[in-house]
Amino acid sequence: MRYAVIIDLDYVNNPYEVCKAIWVTIRDEMLKQGFYPDGRRFVISAPKDEACRRARAAMELVEARLEHLEKCLPNYLKTFYGFRLDCVVSLLVASADDIQVQEPEQ
């Protein structure tokens, strides 16, 4: 099963350069935990519990690496959540009810 994690930093209330450094560290740790980047998501082929455990472990390692920050890591986070990819509905694609098939006239 594929599981995705979304992490958004609060760039509005924190300095850009600090958030940028945090993001690089988050990306490094998520990759070490077995996730791969997919757009703005980190994806892993693992059950929910394992994926969540790995994502939390990555964030703990990020916080340990960034001890010099003025605030705790959660204060820099805007969102941090996960979901199964088979539950995602793409809104870029029309729903099945909206698709009409027209037979060619003969």
Residue 106 banded pLDDT, cuts 50, 70, 90? confident
Which residues have CB under 8 Å from 69's CB, separation 6+? 18, 22, 76
Chosen CATH of 2-84 out of 3.30.70.240, 3.40.50.720, 3.50.50.60, 2.40.128.110 = 3.30.70.240
Q: Under DSSP, is residue 99 helix (H, G, I), strand (E, B) or coil?
A: coil
User: Residue 77: what residue type?
Assistant: L
pTM of the model: 0.81
What helix, strand, coil percent values describe the chain, rounded to 5? 40, 25, 35
The helix or strand, by DSSP H or E, that contains position 27, with its residue range, turns out to be: helix 16-32
Over residues 3-24, the pLDDT tens digits come to: 999 999 999 999 999 999 999 9
Residue 2 pLDDT greater than 80, yes or no: yes
Over residues 32-84, the pLDDT tens digits come to: 999 999 988 999 999 999 999 999 999 999 999 888 877 889 999 999 999 99
Domain ranges of the chain: 2-84
Q: Under DSSP, is residue 50 helix (H, G, I), strand (E, B) or coil?
A: helix
